[in-house]
Structure 1
Amino acid sequence: MAEDGVVTLYNNAAITDTKKNPVSIKVGLTQMLRGGAILEVSNTNQAKIAEEAGACCLVITEPNRQGISRMPDPALIKQIKRAVSIPIMSRSRIGHFVEAQILERVGVDYIDENEVLAIADEFNFINKHNFRCPFVCGCRNLGEALRRVREGAAMIRTQGDLSGTGNIVETVKNVRSVMGEIRILNNMDEDEVFAFSKKIAAPYDLVAQTKQMGRLPVVHFAAGGIVTPADAALMMQLGCDGVFVGSEVFDNCSDPYKRVRGIVEAVRHYNDPHVLVENSCGLEGEMAGLNVTEERMEQFGE
């Protein structure tokens, strides 16, 4: 990976200092989240429930997503920061480095350059080396993941369903794609890595590092459609380091704490069937609002 000191700023008036946090420190900060569940929240009450249930980090989002989705109101971020003691993450639009500058100034612990929001720049991602704050970026395959790492991402989020339906099929497909490409890479002869890196359009040095490590060189989480303890354990058993859980787990739920706590425990004990059974019991009624009915499927198909 490139050291931050050799990366130029956007301009001389940039409000960040590249010498504060080198890449190694940013990657170390994201390592603290391994083995945990990151919960998406949109108000103080949800944030407190998630913290009490054992979430390792919170993603703050706007409660109303109609129209153009942008970064959340800085006032909401400050309000939730005062209410909880766990790390805070917030989203910026892809390519919108000024939103990222604002989020960093507000004091978030991590910035998620997220495709769920509207895209600000169709061709360029944020140069994440220009920021002290660690960045999280999404991917759907290994090449995309390593391109984001080259741009400075300290955590990769394999993204699935973006519509909040609770459908995990896209997430499973994309996680298996990333893990499958890593297994193919691991079995390659050293001479074949050059051609493979060209095929997936990824930097050769990061491809070689991935082969050597047998995994992505940064923390790898899964996101999209993860709404039950079984979903979370599935992602962990497929090889992820943790999961993102959408705010839909709080919707139409009489006891959101129970649901969130069950997911957190499933991430921590994903190979223990006794814990998984215990945390999956009694959730059928809680999941009613997340069932994908024929009417909803027709709606998403339009």
Structure 2
Amino acid sequence: MEEDGGALTLYNSTVITDPKQNPFSIKVGLAQMLSGGAILKVSSQNQAKIAEEAGACCLVITEPNPRGISRMPDPALIKQIKRVVSIPIMARSRVGHFVEAQILERVEVEYIDESEVLALADEDNFINKHNFRCSFVCGCKNPGEASVMSEIRILNNMDEDEVFAFSKKIAAPYDLVAQTKQMGRLPVVHFATGGIVTPADAALMMQLGCDGIFLGSEVFDNCSDPYNRVRAIVEAVRHYNDPHVLVDNSCGLVQELAELNVSED
């Protein structure tokens, strides 16, 4: 076990400290480096450079015009983007497709997003993360995948017997559920994604307890100055509790955001 900042981290398996691979604590540290930042989805070198200059903490590389079954991005595109930026790179693999993950690790991405946004390669089994040096990002849709926000508040009021029953109900390891209760939050960084297009959207997610946000590539669409749009959202993530900064970064974006509004027709 390891104590860090008053929170007790439980490690109960020798596989996570295999000297042939990155120890679990290193992977956790790499993920925590993204805390308080904005991760941007990009599909070209130009978008990648704009995102880095605007203050993105990490880039998710996606195909420019995906068609048919969604798979991992072209490794050649990953290499091209890595040549022009210095911030960490993330790329998606299909759920359960450990060979796609092997390829992504070989081209030296820092993070792999085992994403249900892509087509599923295995409907029952996720990739065994302990076989990789990379840190992984996974989405969650219900308490069984990750106890989030309101469920954590409920968990905080449970006694020990209730915690054990709750862990069985959501099919999660008891140690992790107990650790979540002790910390009052998930023991990993928690990012929000989907529909975040304004500084106010980003600040809302942060004030609700997220550690950062994913920003879709639509922020580059139909925009005369994507740098200013991205920069405003990045600043809102960094200063989400400062109303003066939020006002400044929300000014002058009406025209830039007009194309992102949902049509009333």
Question: Would you call these one fold, judging by a TM-score over 0.5?
Answer: yes
SS at match of 2:59: strand
Q: Which amino acid aligns with 2:62?
A: T
State yes or no: 1:199 paired with 2:169: yes
In 2, are the aligned partners of 1:100 and 1:111 still within 8 Å (CA)? Answer: yes
Superposition deviation, residue 289 in structure 1? 2.0
Counterpart in 2 of 1:71? Answer: 72
- The partner residue of 1:212 within 170, 178, 182 is 182
In 2, are the aligned partners of 1:18 and 1:132 still within 8 Å (CA)? Answer: no
SS at match of 1:211: helix
Equivalences for residues 217-256 of structure 1 within 5 A = 217-256=187-226
Equivalences for residues 19-38 of structure 1 within 5 A = 19-38=20-39
Cα separation, partners in 2 of 1:263 and 1:4, compared to 1, 3 Å: farther
- Quick one: distance in 1 between partners of 2:223 and 2:29? 36
Counterpart in 2 of 1:5? Answer: 15
- Quick one: distance in 2 between partners of 1:222 and 1:250? 19
Unaligned runs of 5+ in 1: 8-16, 147-177, 296-302
Superposition deviation, residue 4 in structure 1? 5.8
Q: Which amino acid aligns with 2:230?
A: V
In 2, are the aligned partners of 1:142 and 1:182 still within 8 Å (CA)? Answer: no
Superposition deviation, residue 132 in structure 1? 0.4
Equivalences for residues 52-63 of structure 1 within 5 A = 52-63=53-64
Equivalences for residues 268-287 of structure 1 within 5 A = 268-287=238-257
In 2, are the aligned partners of 1:4 and 1:19 still within 8 Å (CA)? Answer: no
**Bigger shift: 39-48 or 286-295?**
286-295
- Return the TM-score normalized by structure 1: 0.81
Runs of 4+ that moved beyond 6 A: none
Counterpart in 2 of 1:109? Answer: 110
- Quick one: distance in 1 between partners of 2:13 and 2:60? 28
Equivalences for residues 85-100 of structure 1 within 5 A = 85-100=86-101
CA-based RMSD of the aligned residues comes to: 1.5
Counterpart in 2 of 1:267? Answer: 237
Q: Percent identity?
A: 84
Cα distance per residue 1:198-252 (max 9 Å; x no partner)? 2222111110010011100111111111111111000000000000001010011
Cα separation, partners in 2 of 1:280 and 1:82, compared to 1, 3 Å: same
Superposition deviation, residue 20 in structure 1? 2.0
SS at match of 2:191: strand
Counterpart in 2 of 1:44? Answer: 45
In 1, are the aligned partners of 2:16 and 2:24 still within 8 Å (CA)? Answer: no
Counterpart in 1 of 2:84? Answer: 83
Equivalences for residues 288-299 of structure 1 within 5 A = 288-294=258-264
Unaligned runs of 5+ in 2: 1-10
Equivalenced residue count is 255
In 2, are the aligned partners of 1:242 and 1:267 still within 8 Å (CA)? Answer: yes
In 2, are the aligned partners of 1:39 and 1:58 still within 8 Å (CA)? Answer: yes
In 2, are the aligned partners of 1:4 and 1:22 still within 8 Å (CA)? Answer: no
- Quick one: distance in 2 between partners of 1:20 and 1:218? 19
